[in-house]
Structure 1
């Protein structure tokens, strides 16, 4: 039992655990819609697109969070603007913004002779360096994310399954998409300094994707994603402490491992349990299919 509890008797590990829990809850709220909407590539692009703002803020002695928020805002505005270009696919626009912002960030970094340590922190995060004020910021971000997710639930649900349905219902899909981008931006900006931009998708994408095969609704996916994210944080920090590995990377690796375990077990379940209805049609549709139907 000491092996299980000893790491969390240390103050900075306790803060890391609380910070990871808050990040997991934020990412569950945003990541569920990212998975259902098929926006994983956009999330990755936006995470890497933070680099110019963070680099400029660090060189000027400003707040990396402010710089990250500025870059994320530029990325979100760019994605929204390019989506209106009819002959340009959404993925192409996102890819161009991704490369452009990343290149700009590398150029800014290359102008500094002493940015290597900060860049490493940006890429991989430092969950063990969470401070009390970081916890306050994460708590505020969680409250905002919860309000946004609750207020936009109906519009996000319609948008995730059929944009035309959202328009028919008068839910203004463009505004809903912009709000969803804002929620994604909030999750990434709040999380990047905890697990880093290269690893933020671990908590943003893996827990909701792992919960999806077992869920009957969007709320269940969010709850499952939150539980899995919290579990990945606890187990990742525990393994990191005893194995001497990077904490943020270990947390993300555990989250991804959860996804593969979930997919594997659900595949076995679907093969073993295939009831057939009276009409002879296969009724073994995975539970996640219920999530894919608009409410």
Structure 2
């Protein structure tokens, strides 16, 4: 028991656990729609596209989350505008904004020696450096995210499975899609400090994808995804404490390992069921 809970008697580790659980709930709910809608590439692009705003905020001495939010809004608006004006597919729009925003961020970082030191924590997270005010922001974002997923459940569900039917039902799929992009941006911005901009993609996609293998109902997938993310946070912090590894990277790695563990278990179960069915048939 001491092995399991001793690390969380330290205040900054306990704050990290709370932050990770809040991020897991936020990403679990919103990530469910990201997986169902097929917006994984957008989430990945968003996590990298925040670099310019964070770099500028760091240079000016502002709050990094405000800079990340500004970049996320610019990117979401840019993707929507390019898709509408050029008639190109959304993947092309995301790719263009992804490369453009990331390139701008790298240019800014290359001219700023002061930001180079903070780049590692930006990319890979600094969950053990989470402050009390960061917990407040994460808690507000989690509440807003869960509330939005509940209120917009019907238009999101129609959009995820049949966009034309959503339009026929008067559910405004265009606005629903924009709302989904904004929520995805909010999840990435609010959670990047926990696991970093590169690894936040794992927290947003890993637990919902794993839950999707286990459940069919949307509500069950969201609850399971939140629980899987919270468990990965607890185990990740525990492993990183005892093994002296990167906390953010360990958390993200566990979410991916959980997916493959469930996938392999389902495959083995299916193979065993097939074998037993054939054995009974021949008997």
Q: State the secondary structure of the residue aligned to 1:273.
A: helix
The residue aligned with 1:259 is 259
**Structure 1 unpaired stretches of 5+:** 276-295
- Report deviation, 1:54: 0.5
The residue aligned with 2:50 is 50
Does residue 150 of structure 2 align to residue 150 of structure 1? yes
- Report deviation, 1:272: 2.9
The residue aligned with 2:280 is none
Higher helix share: 2
Alpha-carbon RMSD across the aligned residues, in angstroms, is 1.2
Q: State the secondary structure of the residue aligned to 1:20.
A: helix
Q: Distance in 2 between the 1:220 and 1:264 partners?
A: 21
The residue aligned with 1:230 is 230
Does residue 164 of structure 2 align to residue 183 of structure 1? no
> TM-score, with normalisation over the residues of structure 1?
0.91
- Report deviation, 1:193: 1.2
Higher RCO structure, 1 or 2 (CA under 8 Å, sep 6+): 2
> TM-score, with normalisation over the residues of structure 2?
0.95
Asked if the contact 1:211/1:262 (under 8 Å) is kept, the reply is: no
The residue aligned with 2:76 is 76
Q: Distance in 1 between the 2:198 and 2:87 partners?
A: 31
The residue aligned with 2:243 is 243
- Report deviation, 1:103: 0.2
- Aligned counterparts, 1:1-295, within 5 A: 1-85=1-85, 87-273=87-273
- Report deviation, 1:61: 1.0
**Structure 2 unpaired stretches of 5+:** 276-283
Q: Distance in 1 between the 2:233 and 2:83 partners?
A: 35
The residue aligned with 1:286 is none
Asked if the contact 2:59/2:114 (under 8 Å) is kept, the reply is: no
Q: State the secondary structure of the residue aligned to 1:165.
A: helix
- Report deviation, 1:86: 5.5
Q: Distance in 1 between the 2:141 and 2:274 partners?
A: 43
Summarize deviations over 1:257-287 as a string: whole Å, max 9, x none.
0011011111222333369xxxxxxxxxxxx
Q: Distance in 2 between the 1:106 and 1:22 partners?
A: 30
Q: Distance in 1 between the 2:41 and 2:247 partners?
A: 24
Name the CA shift for 1:107/1:157 in 2 (closer, same or farther; >3 Å).
same
